[in-house]
């Protein structure tokens, strides 16, 4: 039996920033996720946006942004206290190993621990991004039935998950 890797998420700090900036995805995946060289500085500059690193055994392998204002994700208000998750990716060298699901689990645990008042997490995923859609479903996210039309690559499913299912 293979030992499960230690997957953690941490707020981005100066000691891991440079290692994050070399991460990326395949060219085709850039239709669905921005380049970290733009997303990381934008998250650092945006009030209410927290850049997060995904670590495997202490080394950065991915990134996402946690958005305090969920309306920035789906352009609507939510009934329960909700945060947004955007720009989620695992570096191309680490894809296909189940690390995305582990990272989403670690992200949910982190949200529950550091933001105990938050009840739900919302994200959007492009209708054509079938791999990400399957990953988010496996991680417990469900389509709300709404589509978000503000993305640069076409319509996106709005997906929601309770922090503590």
H or E element that contains 9: strand 7-11
Query: Residue 162: inside a domain, yes or no?
Result: no
pLDDT of 160 higher than 80 = yes
Query: Residue 58: inside a domain, yes or no?
Result: yes
For residue 88, give its domain range. Answer: 7-117
Predicted confidence at residue 164, as pLDDT, reads: 87
- Lookup result for tokens 């479903």: 137
pLDDT in tens, 43-54: 999 999 999 999
Instruction: Specify the pairing of strand 142-148 against strand 156-162.
Output: antiparallel
Taking CA atoms, 160 is separated from 13, 57, 81, 86, in Å, by 28, 29, 12, 12
Query: Residue 163: inside a domain, yes or no?
Result: no
Please state, in angstroms and rounded to a whole number, the distance separating the CA atoms of residues 70 and 35. Answer: 21
pLDDT in tens, 104-114: 999 999 999 99
Query: What's the total number of domains in the chain?
Result: 1
Predicted confidence at residue 71, as pLDDT, reads: 92
| Sheet with 49-56: strands ordered across | 7-11, 49-56, 59-67, 82-90, 120-126, 156-162, 142-148
Query: Residue 87: inside a domain, yes or no?
Result: yes
Phi, psi of 27, rounded to the nearest 5 degrees: -55, -40
* The model's pTM: 0.94
Contact at 8 Å (CB) between 107 and 146?
no
Query: Residue 53: inside a domain, yes or no?
Result: yes
**CATH number of the domain to which 87 belongs:** 3.40.630.30
CB within 8 A of 161, min separation 6: which ones?
108, 120, 121, 139, 140, 141, 142
């Amino acid at each position: 039996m293979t030992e499960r890797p230690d997957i953690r998420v941490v707020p981005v700090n100066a000691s891991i920033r440079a290692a994050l900036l070399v991460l990326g995805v395949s060219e085709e995946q850039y239709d669905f996720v921005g380049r970290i060289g733009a997303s990381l500085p934008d998250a650092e500059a945006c009030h209410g946006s927290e850049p997060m690193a995904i670590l495997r055994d202490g080394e950065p392998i991915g990134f996402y942004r946690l958005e305090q204002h969920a309306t920035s994700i789906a352009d609507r208000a939510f009934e329960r206290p909700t945060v947004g998750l955007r720009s989620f990716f695992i570096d191309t060298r680490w894809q296909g190993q189940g690390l995305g699901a582990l990272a989403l689990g670690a992200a949910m645990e982190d949200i529950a621990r550091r933001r105990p008042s938050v009840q739900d997490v919302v994200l959007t995923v492009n209708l054509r991004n079938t791999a990400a859609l399957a990953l988010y479903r496996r991680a417990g996210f469900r389509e709300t039935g709404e589509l978000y039309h503000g993305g640069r690559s076409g319509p996106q499913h709005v997906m929601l998950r309770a922090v503590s299912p």
